[in-house]
Structure 1
Amino acid sequence: MDPELARANREAAQYVQQFLKGQSRAFPALVALFAPRVMSIIRRMVSGYHDAEDLHNEIWLKVAQHLHKYDADLPFHSWLYRIASNACIDFLRKKREIVLEAEQLHQQVHKSPSERVKSPELFLLEKESCSELTALLDRLNETDRLILTLRFVQDMSYEEIGSIVGMSKNTIGTRLFRARKQLKELLVQHREERRESDAAY
């Protein structure tokens, strides 16, 4: 664990104890301590700015509600990231369900099931993509995207990631290998499609 994160965990433990003893001002300090790290995870998982902001607020609300369950013998960031990760995955799954339902409804109304129609939700999701990489990450399984984010954005070990997503170290390694391979294939495909599109003009 890097020194900066270790220091943040020590401070977090103090803020948690203060908050649980009734010092309400300790919670904003706790949020300020880890908000950039949490938002970093969210922005790699969720494309839309407003969705990310709403999700960020929802995560900290859950933290406040469950802070009494935190085990002070464990690193605070692992406990926090678990809450953030579950919230991101839940959000993405619900988002996908909404998009699928909207597409199915459109197909039923227009009697053209063979024609894939882009729903308003999906259109906005793509429009709000912050980068090509984010758009490609959106095409990965939610858990694989999370594992990549925790590993390469948060620089967490296989053991730490495993404790958050509930998988063994070996499984994390396998999922990372497959996810990176899939991401590379998607990138090659995306570049090829872009070249063909440019050539058409």
Structure 2
Amino acid sequence: MAALALAGRQDAYRELLARHRESVFRLVRASVGDPHEALDITQETFIAAFSALGRYDHERPFLAWLKHIALNKCRDWARRRKVRAFFTRAMPLEMAFDVSDDAISADVQAVDRAELARVTAAISRLPSRLRDALVLRTIDGLGQAEAAEVLGVSEKTVETRLYRARGKLKAMLGDQI
């Protein structure tokens, strides 16, 4: 499919986007924690990937190459985050107008949202090499070998980083994880 896109077929670009956008968005959202920023970074990822399609190594899986670009975009965003700290802490509009589910009480929903925000914030404070391994394995659901391929490291390195990330999260969040 990448070869067809490189040959200029617009339908191939649309197919690549349709096939991989949700997976890339989940990875980015888990990495940055903000769904609005994640949408922008996902778009930047596809723009960068499509403009660099000529450098894609067809021996590697396309999704692994795309996720590698996405993680680089997340790192770029993290470096710029301090300037935009005010905006990333603001409550997203969809949370302000959230419609409650009758089956779950409002106070339980509020506690769950607060806990999710606390864990997401803790994950975003992890060093990128640990955060990337954690997000790829536990949130994105990749296997050890797949995560290693995306990160460009050995499977043992992924295992070590995952262990360290979990330890740091436990220290940040206490015994509540």
Which deviates the most, 20-29 or 34-43?
Answer: 20-29
Residue pair 2:129, 2:161 contacting (<8 A) in 1 also: no
- Secondary structure of the 1:73 match is coil
Could you tell me which runs of 5 or more consecutive residues in structure 1 were left unpaired when the two chains were aligned: 1-14, 99-120, 192-201
Aligned-partner SS, 2:81: helix
The one-letter amino acid of 2:120's match is T
Based on CA coordinates, which of the two structures has the bigger radius of gyration?
A: 1
CA drift of 1:23 comes to 1.1
- Alpha-carbon distance, 1:149 to partner: 0.7
| Aligned mate of 1:145, from 131, 136, 141 | 131
1:103-136 CA deviation, whole Å, 9 max, x = no partner? Answer: xxxxxxxxxxxxxxxxxx3343233487332112
Match of residue 145 from structure 2:
159
Structure 1 residue 28 displacement after superposition? 1.4
1:47 has 2:33 as partner: yes
TM-fit CA distance, 1:159? 3.0
Opposite residue 41 of structure 1, the aligned amino acid is: L
**TM-score (ref. length: structure 1):** 0.68
Q: Greater shift after overlay, 38-47 or 121-130? A: 121-130
The 3-state SS of whatever aligns with 1:25 is helix
Unaligned runs of 5+ in 2: 93-115
* TM-score, reference length from structure 2: 0.76
Distance 1:188 1:159, change over 3 A: same
Q: Does 1:180 align with 2:166?
A: yes
Contact 1:151 1:158 in 2 (8 A): yes
> What's 2:118 paired with?
132
Residue number in structure 2 paired with 1:78? 64
Task: For 1:59-138, list aligned pairs within 5 A.
Answer: 59-96=45-82, 98=83, 121-128=84-91, 131-138=117-124
Aligned CA RMSD, in angstroms, stands at: 2.1
How far, CA to CA, are the matches of 1:167 and 1:30 in structure 2?
Answer: 25
Percent pairwise identity? 31
- Measured at CA, do residues 149 and 128 of structure 1 come closer, stay the same or move farther in structure 2, by a change above 3 Å? farther
- 4+ residue runs over 6 A deviation: none
The separation in 2 between residues aligned to 1:66 and 1:53, in whole angstroms, is 20
In structure 1, C-alpha distance between the alignment counterparts of 2:140 and 2:31, rounded to whole Å: 13
Equivalent position amino acid for 1:39 in 2: F
Count of residue correspondences: 153
